């Protein structure tokens, strides 16, 4: 989904893996389609910075990025702007605009008792996202913006498309 150019919603949530808290960064587009996920041990500016940079390299700059008011994400976004990324992008931190991604976390958090390690949790979550992508309304309607179910699954599982 290379043309996810208008609005992204980004958030981080926490999940427990082997009794320790880890942080899952997720981004979706306006239609609720998952752009990327990233599981980290820490919730800090460096992790948010790396995730935002990874997104912009993959999908180019959107017009709007909606996040919560997490200090790590806000400072990472400002830092990336200083380095020339997200120049034409508006950063919105209005609480209720991020509801779509907050609701999208539910299936991931519901199954957290099965996560045994960081690696298996990451693989499991990527698989869940790929399967959920098949059932989302816009996915069923065929090739929206050149979307291919096979390509999307390969990308989410880290297999060269």
Q: Show me where the domains of the chain are located.
A: 7-156
Residue range 51-65, pLDDT digits in tens = 999 999 988 899 999
Q: What is the CA 53 to chain-centroid distance, rounded?
A: 12
Residue range 12-24, pLDDT digits in tens = 888 888 878 888 8
| Residue labelled with tokens 């990527």 | 126
Residue 1 has pLDDT above 50, yes or no: no
Residue 145 has pLDDT above 70, yes or no: no
CA distances to 62, 115, 138, 155 from 47, rounded to whole Å, are: 20, 21, 30, 21
Query: Is 110 buried (19+), middle (13-18) or exposed (0-12) by CB count in 10 A?
Result: exposed
pLDDT at 84: 94
Could you say which DSSP state residue 85 is in?
S
* Superfamily for the 7-156 domain: Ribonuclease H-like superfamily/Ribonuclease H (3.30.420.10)
Residue 33 has pLDDT above 60, yes or no: yes
């Amino acid at each position: 989904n290379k043309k996810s150019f208008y609005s992204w919603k980004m958030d981080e949530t926490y999940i427990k893996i082997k009794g320790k808290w880890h942080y899952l960064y997720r981004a979706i587009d306006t239609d609720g389609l998952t752009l990327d996920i990233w599981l980290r041990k820490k919730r800090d500016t460096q992790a948010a910075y790396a995730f935002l940079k990874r997104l912009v390299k993959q999908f180019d700059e959107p017009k709007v990025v909606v996040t919560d008011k997490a200090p790590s994400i806000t400072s990472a976004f400002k830092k990336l702007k200083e380095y020339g990324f997200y120049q034409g992008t508006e950063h919105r931190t209005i609480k209720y605009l991020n509801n779509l991604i907050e609701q999208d976390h539910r299936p991931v958090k519901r199954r957290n008792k099965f996560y045994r390690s960081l690696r298996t949790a990451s693989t499991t979550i990527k698989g869940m996202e790929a399967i959920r992508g098949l059932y989302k309304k816009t996915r069923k309607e065929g090739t929206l913006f050149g979307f291919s179910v096979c390509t999307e699954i390969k990308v989410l599982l880290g297999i060269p498309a």
